[in-house]
Structure 1
Amino acid sequence: MSTWIILILIPMVLGIWAQMHVSSVYKKWSQVPSRGRITGAEAADAIMRAAGISDVEVVEVSGHLTDHYDPTNHRLALSSDNYRGTSLAALGVAAHEAGHALQHQAHYAPLKARMALIPVTGFASQILPFVIIGGFFFGMFGLIKVGVAIYLVLTVFQLITLPVEFDASRRAEAQLTNLGILQADEVVGVTQTLRAAGWTYVAAFVATLGNLLYLLMLSRRNN
């Protein structure tokens, strides 16, 4: 099996599968309402209030699964389906984002490290296409080493993202039951939804690592 297939193609297929899997699982549990009929926005707000967080605004945003926590602006953004929805999937996603707010309050080290890397990864992602085009299409092989450095930064970022996301999911499941938002037998829907979402982060890390190793191999060939 060629190196290209191992380092590039297989991670690409894993990424496609992860996206399809999370869409399928989310669709399944978005059709199962919680018994308490509490909305995602209400659940997120309840979790943060219970932790003494009062300076984070829960807002509704457009798009599908565009949910995120913005630590800089103290905003917890939920897509319409999860902001207004009462399904197990909606509560899981909303609680997960609230979990990030809890991490921020607790000065969770991996989250702080991830936040510190965001400006660097943003710049690296912007120049990466020019580096790849120059290195491969114009034979400027010195740029491949720059590409290696960029992918090293991106790989570290994706690696740090894993504990951040998994810990947020753990906090979400615990708070949903501790606060009585969900009953014990309802947690399975949340668990499956968040585990499926977790695979997308694993796939992103594997893909970035594969690209790093592939470029590293090419840079050594051209030495």
Structure 2
Amino acid sequence: MITSYKSTEDAPGMKESDIIRRILSGEKELYEILVRRNNQKLFRCIRGYLSDEEEIKDVMQNSYLKAFDKLSQFKLQASFSTWLIRIAMNEALVRLKQKGKIVELNVKDMVGSENGLDDNVYREHNPQSRMIRKEGRELLERAIGDLDAIYRTTYIMKELEEMSIEEIADVLNISVSNVKIRLHRARLMLRESLYELSQDKDLFEFGFSKCDDITERVMKAIQ
């Protein structure tokens, strides 16, 4: 019967490297600690690639199992979470390729012996980066639209239309200093608005029951 370590508090003072050494020595029940420590981070990273929650869980499970099978290859001086996320990224990218969402992408070319994904290829084909750019534009458009008209107009003229301060002052029939004040206030309001939107972490939350579910699935699979 596998002992349950339902939180890192059940193993006070246990370093990651010590946990891994003990797992490799036969105490595979300790793998639950690593799973629970990394569930939130792994979910959010995969969420950048895939949107279906069940598919994300499937990728998480497969990644944990692959990491467990190859744990003897893990170099203890590195971070387990980084190594795990690289495995998950490759798994997610393979699925995207199978769906035709990544064209002419050789996933094997993206994996180095030590460093994981090649930076240039990763940036070019990273769906998370594309999603962030797309959603960033949408959020910015919404935030600009919520500005009062005097600030919205000034901001659009300067930042989007690239008009000079003098041109804006002339068009709006206000002083140059007034244009600068409006721009400053518009930027402050946009920064605050976008910051609040960016803090909505519930969109990527992987809390209690979900964490228990994926942990149980992984631990059953390695018994």
TM-score normalised per structure 1: 0.28
Identify which of structures 1 and 2 has the higher relative contact order when contacts are C-alpha pairs closer than 8 Å and 6+ apart. Answer: 1
Considering fraction of residues, name the structure with more strand: 1
Under a length normalisation based on structure 2, what TM-score does the superposition of the two structures give?
0.28
